[in-house]
Amino acid sequence: MAFSEAAVVNVVHNTLTAHEDIFNGTPTTDIVSMESYTEALFIIEKSAGGTGTAVITVESCDDTTPTTATAVAFDYQAMTSGNTWGSRTAATASGFTTTAGANQAYKIWIRDSELSGTDKYVRLKATESANDPVDGAIVTVLMGPKYPQDPPAAAIT
């Protein structure tokens, strides 16, 4: 059976809901399972708040607690002016710092093969680096299902 493009992605609800100070308190997204997917895409949407920034990292997790969380390398792309995306860029496990400014978006990719050891879970972490409130939200989209189905396989336990 053929599946539509919409059926082979899984948009994870409430990964980090819309918030008036999204980076306050070094938040992490929900831990999502990549056991049934080959790639996760985190989308950060920054609206109001022109000077707040955060260091963005991706953590490979061994379980849903997590008992062990290990920062890993990933790729990202930024849209910091208008509707123009920058080039896809490799980030080390130390991450990258968002640009000060409102009305921005970031795409952060991680493949299941880039997780640490036998880990099957992942989350995004935002460590506030310039303490000024930034409105925004973070959504997770899981892609490349190993066993396509409609509806998509659950990713939060």
What local confidence, expressed as pLDDT, does residue 13 receive?
62
d(CA 120, CA 76): 20
Dump pLDDT digits (tens) for 6-37.
556 777 765 666 677 888 888 899 999 999 99
More confident residue, 31 or 2: 31
Mean pLDDT of the chain: 88
What is the end-to-end Cα distance of the chain in Å, rounded?
Answer: 27
d(CA 60, CA 111): 11
d(CA 78, CA 76): 7
Which amino acid is it at 128? E
Q: How many CB atoms lie within 10 A of CB 51?
A: 12
Assign 33 to helix, strand or coil. strand
d(CA 2, CA 33): 24
Quote the pTM value: 0.89
d(CA 65, CA 52): 29
What's the pLDDT band for 3 if we cut at 50, 70, 90?
A: low
Ordered domains of the chain (ranges, CATH): 5-145 (2.60.120)
Dump pLDDT digits (tens) for 51-85.
889 999 999 999 999 999 999 999 999 998 888 99
pLDDT over 70, % of the chain: 90
Give the tokens for residue 96: 């990258």
